[in-house]
A and B are shown apart, each in its own frame.
Chain A
Amino acid sequence: MASKTKKAAFDAKKQLEKVEEQFETLQILNEEGKVVNESAMPDLSDEQLQELMRRMVYTRILDQRSISLNRQGRLGFYAPTAGQEASQLASQFALEKEDFILPGYRDVPQIIWHGLPLSQAFLWSRGHFEGGNIPEGVNVIAPQIIIGAQYIQAAGVALGMKKRGEKAVAITYTGDGGASQGDFYEGINFAGAFQVPAIFIVQNNRFAISTPVEKQSAAKTIAQKAVAAGIPGVQVDGMDPLAVYAAVHDARERALNGEGPTLIETLTYRYGPHTMAGDDPTRYRTSDLDNEWEKKDPLVRFRKFLEDKKLWNEDMENEIIEKAKEDIKVAIKKADDTPKQKVTDLMSIMYEEMPYNLKEQYEVYKEKESK
């Protein structure tokens, strides 16, 4: 019998290539601080551009001080943020006060800039529940510890906004590792199915603690995971504050127009360890890779961009550095002055009203605490 060339039922290779070619990285400002994509340039005033730079410098100082406070035993859990300023702060900068942020544990800077007092961020780091007692009118929740849980909650918050007819979005953050979690998929899928005003950000800093992003998935980008949920996805240069801002701003506009959620992948890098609890990045990252990413630094390129426009100078930089240091000093003092959390406090906050067992245990611990 003559052999026939059997035709594949479908062209798997072509299918995947077609998906991947849709996810080119959006960049507006290159590493030299030059605008390479004028048409995507967001509509920001000079003052807004300066403010975004101030926030990034401030947050870099906050990171350095937090690391040193942690080493002195004056802060508890801390996940370093240096390198991710564009991804974190430019995304928050595109929001309005009424938007609701559901952060992961590295996303403390966003909620500070959304209104959480610095002293409370420090209390949260120390594991004091006053840290999570968000002031009225500040639309955030304390950072999530469980990877991805905030994704489905964001779908819920956004569904609530839609039901109430609010002109606001829910925005949530996870990392490249988080994009492997079931709740990630459930979150984007629910949000798509209900067409709610949500923005899902994946800060792809290339390592989930030590596991490289290449080992997380066969997908070439995380942005393309949006396709399966039937929602738009975009990959942006997460070291470029203008690209991050533009992507979030557009996603927000679409959400407010009733066009549903967006998944945004920001390509970024954390210079420091995963957390301050003993992680050693030299075990899984080369210094070559560190150097390669440090050249992409968001502060460096944004500073060049602003200096070229005569919108930034050394005095402005020093002024914000001094302000950050002073704010941190005041906030840590305030955190120190907050009464320590007691077991009886914890008991009184498990339920609206203590059940019999807690009432009895409360008396026992009140006695213990009085000694």
Chain B
Amino acid sequence: MAQMTMIQAITDALRTELSNDPNVLVFGEDVGVNGGVFRATEGLQKEFGEDRVFDTPLAESGIGGLAVGLGLQGFRPVPEIQFFGFVYEVMDSISGQLARMRYRSGGRYSAPVTIRSPFGGGVHTPEMHADSLEGLMAQQPGLKVVIPSTPYDAKGLLISAIRDNDPVIFLEHMKLYRSFRQEVPEEEYSIPLGKAEVKREGSDISIITYGAMVHEALKAAEELEKDGHSAEVIDLRTVSPIDIETIIASVEKTNRAIVVQEAQKQAGIAANVVAEINDRAILSLEAPVLRVAAPDTVFAFPQAETVWLPNYKDIIETAKKVINF
């Protein structure tokens, strides 16, 4: 097995599916010769040719529309939106078009499209690069939204996303791209969409999260253990639809939960998870389910982002509130 960073695991997944399925096409801004601004598509154009891996003109809406049209022609497009903050330019293609293709055509057509895009804070980007906009996507029926937290998951989930016959928004946290390596099998494997993973078992509180916050949550769980609190950490991996069974089973065991997201507190994934727990497990709860999230402003400029982003200390603080309720 090879040690891979998340970006290498993503490239490996793309290579795997480009090899497996001649209908898979990878395209976007600078994904060809340049291999993508983060090198996610490094070497793929050389290996698979310009017909399969190609640069587009600089227009996100056009990239989305191209994916819709290629999907209609039986291709399996995997476009890249260079940074997910640019998604507003392609919102119609995503929410107005891809997500509705199956409905609009009475089931005749689908949109087997996986849109990959980097997002996430902590890497000092300019404005409109780092925002966590998964909540915006999760509100759209017809889409699936996937956010891996490790290289191993990134490969397995991306392969599943590409093979899925519905449109998938695959969001890659920039801070995780090269922050650590992990053993990643070179052969193909898939991780089912819609399945969470219990990253750490515990009995006193469930910490439900995804993306880069998984690592903050694990760190918090270690600290909490020193204080005698056993925290279970759940990585959602797919934020829409969420894995309700795993969440509820955990809450029924621990009777306490907090939900952690890097996105702003208002609306979003965490609010949905809290509401679902209240709907389904209220009698198991010993305390209210609280959230750890960023404040309700637009994403902070780099000088302020360290404070703006939730971290393990915030998680510990909120977890203790719930434990001591």
Contacts and interface: CB of A to CB of B under 8 A. Distances in A.
B194 A158 contact: no
B274 to A, nearest CB: 15
A356 B56 contact: no
Interface string A159-181: 11101100000100000000000
Contacts of B102: 349-352
A367 to B, nearest CB: 18
B73 A186 contact: no
A160 B59 contact: no
A157 B93 CA distance: 14
Contact of B165 (A152, A186, A189, A352): A352
Contacts of B232: none
Interface residues of A, number: 41
A271 interface: no
Contacts of B105: 129, 132-134, 141-142
Nearest to A193: B57
A168 to B, nearest CB: 10
Contacts of A182: 61
Contacts, number: 133
Contacts of A257: none
B128 interface: no
A149 B92 contact: yes
B202 interface: no
A155 B164 CA distance: 24
Contacts of A355: 194, 241
B322 interface: no
A151 interface: yes
Interface in A111-146: 129-134, 141-142, 146
Contacts of B69: 102, 152-160, 170
Contact of A183 (B51, B65, B164, B245): B65
B108 A152 contact: no
Given A155-B62, A186-B65, A133 B75 contact: no
A19 interface: no
Given A133-B108, A142-B104, A355-B194, A157 B62 contact: no
A164 B73 contact: yes
A15 interface: no
A103 B25 CA distance: 25
A153 B51 contact: no
B64 interface: yes
Contacts of A161: 73
Nearest to B110: A352
Greatest chain A CB density within 10 A among B69, B165, B241 is at B69
A323 B153 CA distance: 61
B51 A163 contact: yes
A352 B166 contact: yes
Given A149-B96, A156-B66, A346 B103 contact: yes
Given A129-B106, A133-B105, A134-B108, A156 B241 contact: no
Interface in B17-55: 25, 51
Nearest to B67: A156
Given A157-B73, A159-B70, A189-B59, A129 B104 contact: yes
B72 interface: yes
Given A149-B96, A350-B102, A352-B110, A156 B72 contact: yes
A75 to B, nearest CB: 18
Given A149-B93, A159-B66, A193-B57, A357 B241 contact: yes
A131 B69 CA distance: 20
Contacts of B66: 152-153, 155-156, 159, 190
Interface in B68-102: 68-75, 92-93, 96-97, 102
A354 B114 CA distance: 18
A189 B72 CA distance: 20
A187 interface: yes
A141 B72 contact: yes
Nearest to B71: A156
Contacts of B104: 129, 132, 142
B301 interface: no
Contact of A155 (B25, B65, B96, B110): B65
A160 B72 contact: yes
Nearest to B25: A163
B68 to A, nearest CB: 5
Interface in B147-197: 164-166, 194
Given A149-B97, A156-B73, A356-B241, 17 more contacts: A141-B105, A146-B92, A152-B65, A152-B93, A153-B68, A155-B62, A156-B69, A159-B70, A160-B70, A183-B61, A183-B92, A186-B61, A190-B57, A193-B56, A193-B57, A352-B164, A355-B194
Interface of B: 25, 51, 56-57, 59, 61-62, 64-75, 92-93, 96-97, 102-110, 141-142, 144, 164-166, 194, 241, 244-245
Q: Which 10 residue pairs across A and B have the least CB separation, nearest first? A: A156-B69, A152-B65, A160-B73, A133-B106, A355-B241, A186-B62, A157-B69, A156-B66, A153-B69, A129-B106
29 contacts: A129-B103, A132-B104, A132-B106, A142-B104, A146-B92, A149-B97, A152-B64, A152-B93, A153-B65, A153-B97, A156-B65, A156-B66, A156-B72, A157-B72, A159-B73, A183-B62, A183-B65, A186-B61, A186-B65, A187-B62, A189-B59, A190-B56, A193-B56, A193-B57, A349-B102, A349-B106, A350-B103, A351-B142, A352-B164
